[in-house]
Amino acid sequence: MKKKAAIKPTCDYCYKPLEDEELENPYIGENDEPVCDDCWREKHQFLCPVCQGYHDEQPEGETFFFITSDAGKEQGMLPGIYRANRFPFFRGALGGLGPSYIEEDNVSLVSSSILHISSEGGEEIEADFICGGCVQAYIAVDAEIAALQ
């Protein structure tokens, strides 16, 4: 009897064979084909530096980012948390979110909370994406502070 060769489906992005767990409930990439967990994370998710969780990238109106005082000074913007109402909201997409490239007309300030978050290397993160859950937590704190005044 001839043995049938077991052909494992591969990730549509990196062509790595998919693990059994990944095949059970695979992420579907841009070409409607399964992609591996690593590629999904890299291409379609971001790490929120506040809660340290991975979150799916969000569309216009549901994408949030923060800038620190220093980054805000450079940009001529108030520090805090902003919502991206329209894409693109920053220029120079290469190299990540550069504080000097924010398109001010396409964003609005949703919280004046100033975040102090360090990267793994210990440097302060001047600007980064933040997840919707963390934004809501900061907005709730804003409301509490406002209620005390």
Point out which residues bind Zn ion (CB under 5 A): 11, 13-14, 36, 39, 48, 50-51, 131, 134
Provide the minimum distance between the beta carbon of 5 and Zn ion in the complex, in angstroms, as a whole number: 22
| Separation CA 52–CA 43 (nearest Å) | 17
Helices (H), the chain: 20-24, 37-44, 69-75, 132-148
Please identify, using beta-carbon distances, which residue of 55 and 101 lies nearer to Zn ion: 55
Please identify, using beta-carbon distances, which residue of 108 and 136 lies nearer to Zn ion: 136
Inter-residue contact 22 to 36 (CB < 8 Å)? yes
Provide the minimum distance between the beta carbon of 53 and Zn ion in the complex, in angstroms, as a whole number: 6
Provide the minimum distance between the beta carbon of 102 and Zn ion in the complex, in angstroms, as a whole number: 20
Inter-residue contact 107 to 85 (CB < 8 Å)? yes
Q: Hey, what are 109's tokens?
A: 């300030």
Please identify, using beta-carbon distances, which residue of 54 and 101 lies nearer to Zn ion: 54
Burial level of 74, CB count in 10 A (0-12/13-18/19+)? middle
Provide the minimum distance between the beta carbon of 120 and Zn ion in the complex, in angstroms, as a whole number: 16
Please identify, using beta-carbon distances, which residue of 14 and 93 lies nearer to Zn ion: 14
